[in-house]
Amino acid sequence: MTDSHYDIPCTLGLEEVLAKELLALRARDVKTRRGGVTCTGDKALGYRACLWVRSGVRVQELLAEFDARDEQSFYDQIHALPWEDWMGVDDTLAVDATVRDSVLTHSGFAAVRTKDAICDRFREREGKRPSVQKDNPTLPLKLRFVKGRVHLARDLAGESLHKRGYRPVQVKSPLNEATAAGLLLLAGYDGTGLFVDPMCGSGTFLVEAAWIAMDRAPGLDRRFACQRWPDFDRVLWNELVSEALGRVRYDVDARFVGADRHPGAVALAGQSFGAAEVGEITRVEKGELDTWRPKQSPRWVFTNPPWGERLTEGVDETWDALAGFLRDCPGTTAHVLSGDPELTKRLRMKADQRWPVRNGPIDCRFLRYMVHDRTLS
Residues 152 and 97: their CA atoms lie apart, in Å, by 9
Task: Compute the average pLDDT of residues 113-118.
Answer: 98
The rounded distance, in Å, linking the Cα atoms of 306 and 302 is 13
Q: What is the CA radius of gyration of the chain?
A: 23
pLDDT tens for residues 220-270?
999 999 999 999 999 999 999 999 999 999 999 999 999 999 999 999 999
Instruction: Note the pLDDT of residue 375.
Output: 45
CATH superfamily of this structure's domain 177-215+251-370: Vaccinia Virus protein VP39 (3.40.50.150)
Q: Which residues contact 346 (CB under 8 A, 6 or more apart)?
A: 316, 319, 320, 322, 323
CB half-sphere exposure, 288, CA atoms < 13 A = 7
State the alpha helices, DSSP H only, in the chain.
Answer: 15-24, 43-52, 71-79, 107-126, 177-186, 204-214, 234-247, 263-276, 315-327, 341-344
| pLDDT for the residue 377 | 42
Instruction: Give the number of other CB atoms < 10 A from CB of residue 345.
Output: 10
The whole-number average pLDDT for the span 10-27 is 98
SS3 226: helix
Average pLDDT over residues 351-365: 93
Q: Range(s) for CATH 3.30.2130.30 in the chain?
A: 4-155
pLDDT at 308: 62
Query: Binning pLDDT at 50, 70 and 90, where does residue 292 land?
Result: very high
pLDDT tier at 100, thresholds 50, 70, 90? very high
CB distance 139 to 91 below 8 Å:
yes
CB atoms within 10 A of CB 253: 9
DSSP 84: G
Q: How confident is the model at residue 103 (pLDDT cuts 50, 70, 90)?
A: confident
Residues of CATH 3.40.50.150 domain(s) within the chain? 177-215+251-370
Mean pLDDT of the chain: 94
* pLDDT for 2: 81
Can you give the pTM of this predicted structure? 0.94
Lowest mean pLDDT among 18-22, 235-239, 338-342: 338-342
Pick left, alpha or beta for residue 230 (phi over 0 → left; psi -120 to 50 → alpha; otherwise beta): alpha
Whether residue 112 is predicted with pLDDT greater than 80 in this model: the reply is: yes
Partners of residue 194 on adjacent β-strands: 255
pLDDT value at residue 376: 44
The mean per-residue pLDDT over the stretch 168-186 comes to 84
Q: Which CATH class is domain 4-155?
A: alpha beta
Whole-number Å distance between alpha carbons of 100 and 144 = 8
Q: Quick check: helix, strand or coil at residue 291? A: coil
Measured CA to CA in angstroms, residue 214 lies from 271, 301, 308 at distances of 19, 18, 34
Q: What is the pLDDT of residue 102?
A: 86
Mean pLDDT computed over 189-210:
97
**What is the pLDDT averaged over residues 295-310?**
87
Distance CA 65, CA 58 (A): 19
pLDDT of 220 reads 96
Q: β-strand 149-155 against 139-146: which pairing, if any?
A: antiparallel
